Amino acid sequence: MTIQANIEAKITDALQPEYLEVANESHMHNVPPGSESHFKVTVVTTEFDGKMLVARHRILNQLLKDELNGPVHALSLNTLTPEEWQEKNGEVRKSPPCLGGSKAGK
């Protein structure tokens, strides 16, 4: 199972999201082709109702602790309730360009 598929499975099993997107953004960073080290995760679930942003992120960080202690270097999180998702018309912020590694001076 790929790291991306593993992340998707863990989140789905724990949170039963109404919407889930796990995007491998490793290609946007200074890593070898085919890497699975940088991910953008968008999760929409009623499990986030009444929870502050930091609590939502803690839930995902706990769920994905093995991946974050291993192959995953960066995790961008968009954690929304269904109401918030609807208010944003299903749009989330774009990931910033990579400034790390050899790309910082370019």
pLDDT tens by residue, 39-75: 899 999 999 999 999 999 999 999 999 999 989 888 9
At 33 the pLDDT is 77
Radius of gyration of the chain (CA): 14
CA dihedral over 27, 33, 38, 44, signed as positive or negative: positive
CB neighbours (10 Å) of residue 78?
17
Q: Average of pLDDT values for 28-39?
A: 77
Whole-model pTM: value is 0.86
